[in-house]
Homo-oligomer: A and B are copies of this chain.
Amino acid sequence: MGVVVPFGDKEGGRASLAPLLELVADDMEKINETILAHAHSHVDMIPELAGHLINSGGKRLRPMLTIASALMFDYRGEKHVPLATAVEFMHTATLLHDDVVDESDYRRGRKAARLIWGNQASVLVGDYLLGQAFKMLVDTGLMEALRIMSNAAAIIAEGEVLQLAAQHDVSTTEDAYMQVINAKTAALFSAAAELGAVVAKRPAKEQEALESYGRNLGIAFQLVDDALDYAGEQDKLGKAVGDDFREGKITLPVVLSYRRGTDEERAFWKRVMEDGDQQEGDLEHALELMERHHAIADTIERARHYGAIARDALGIFPESTARNALVEAVDFCIARVS
Contact = CB atoms under 8 A, between A and B. Distances in A.
Interface of A: 41, 43-46, 97, 100-101, 119-121, 123-125, 127-128, 130-132, 134-135, 137-138, 141, 143, 146-147, 149-158, 160-162, 164-165
A127 B153 contact: yes
Given A43-B161, A46-B161, A153 B134 contact: yes
A156 to B, nearest CB: 7
B124 A161 contact: yes
A152 B138 CA distance: 13
Given A124-B161, A131-B156, 10 more contacts: A45-B165, A46-B158, A97-B127, A130-B153, A131-B154, A132-B154, A134-B146, A135-B147, A138-B147, A146-B146
Given A100-B123, A138-B150, A162 B131 contact: no
Nearest to A166: B43
A99 B121 CA distance: 13
The copy count of this chain in the complex is 2
**A interface majority secondary structure:** helix
Contacts of A121: 161, 164
A150 B164 contact: no
A165 B127 CA distance: 16
Contacts of A152: 131
B131 A157 contact: yes
Nearest to A118: B164
Contacts of A138: 143, 146-147, 150
Given A45-B161, A141-B143, A143-B143, A151 B135 contact: yes
A130 B130 contact: yes
A141 B146 CA distance: 10
A157 to B, nearest CB: 4
Q: Specify which of A149, A154, A164 lies most central, judged by the most chain B CB atoms within 10 Å of its CB.
A: A154
A150 B165 contact: no
